[in-house]
Amino acid sequence: MSKVSAFGFTNNSDAAVAITPKALGLTTNYSVVADTATEARLNNKTAPIDVEEMIWFKSRNIPKVDSDLNIQYPSPVKGGIQYWITAEDTLSTTDTDDATFRVDEPIVAQLNIRHPKSGNITADLVGQVVTRLLSACRRADGSWRFDDLMRSAERPVTD
C-alpha cells in the first residue's frame, strides 16, 4: 500500500486574484556579498548603491520542530531544518517641489520555515503552506491586509 500525504483543510479553492511572483533574476541581477555553508546574502545590482535591496537565504539544523499544533500521531523523525528568506528594501521618499528633501526607510520582510527532516515533506507541500500564508495576507478582492496589520489590527474584518 502506498503512503499518501495530505493536509486536513478543505478551504482550498483558488482566489480570484493570483499572487504573481516577480522575476528577480537572482543569479544575474544580484551580487553575492556573503556565501557560507548556512547563508547566502545577495545585493541587488539594479538598485542604486544608496537605495539598497538585500536578499538573504539562511538555514540551520534544529533538534526539534516546535509548534502549537496538537499533533496526535507524531513522526519518529525529531530533528529538523529551519530556513528563512529575508528581503530588506530601502524605500526612498523625495519631494518634487523640494530637491533637498529625501527620507530613506527600511522595510524588512521575512519568511521563516521549519519542519522535520522527513521524506514525507516535499518542496511542493512546503509551497502549498507558503501559498496559504501569503493568501492570509490578502483579502478576497486582492488587496493586502497590511493596512490593518500595521495598526495592530490582526483580526480579519472582511475577506
pTM of the model: 0.86
The whole-number pLDDT of residue 86 equals 98
C-alpha span between 42 and 54 (Å, rounded): 6
Name residue 107's beta-bridge partners: 89
The whole-number pLDDT of residue 142 equals 85
Count other Cβ atoms within 10 Å, centred on residue 80: 19
- Say which residue the cell 547566502 belongs to: 40
What are the pLDDT digits (tens) for 45-61?
999 999 999 999 999 99
C-alpha span between 159 and 147 (Å, rounded): 14
Alpha helix stretches (DSSP H) within the chain: 123-135, 146-149
Q: Are 94 and 101 in contact (CB under 8 A)?
A: yes
pLDDT string in tens for the chain (159-residue length): 688 888 888 888 888 778 888 999 999 999 999 999 999 999 999 999 999 999 999 999 999 999 999 999 999 999 999 999 999 999 999 999 999 999 999 999 999 999 999 999 999 999 999 999 999 998 888 889 999 999 998 777 766
The whole-number pLDDT of residue 158 equals 65
The whole-number pLDDT of residue 159 equals 61
C-alpha span between 114 and 96 (Å, rounded): 45
Taking alpha carbons only, the member of 98, 101, 130 closest to residue 114 is 130
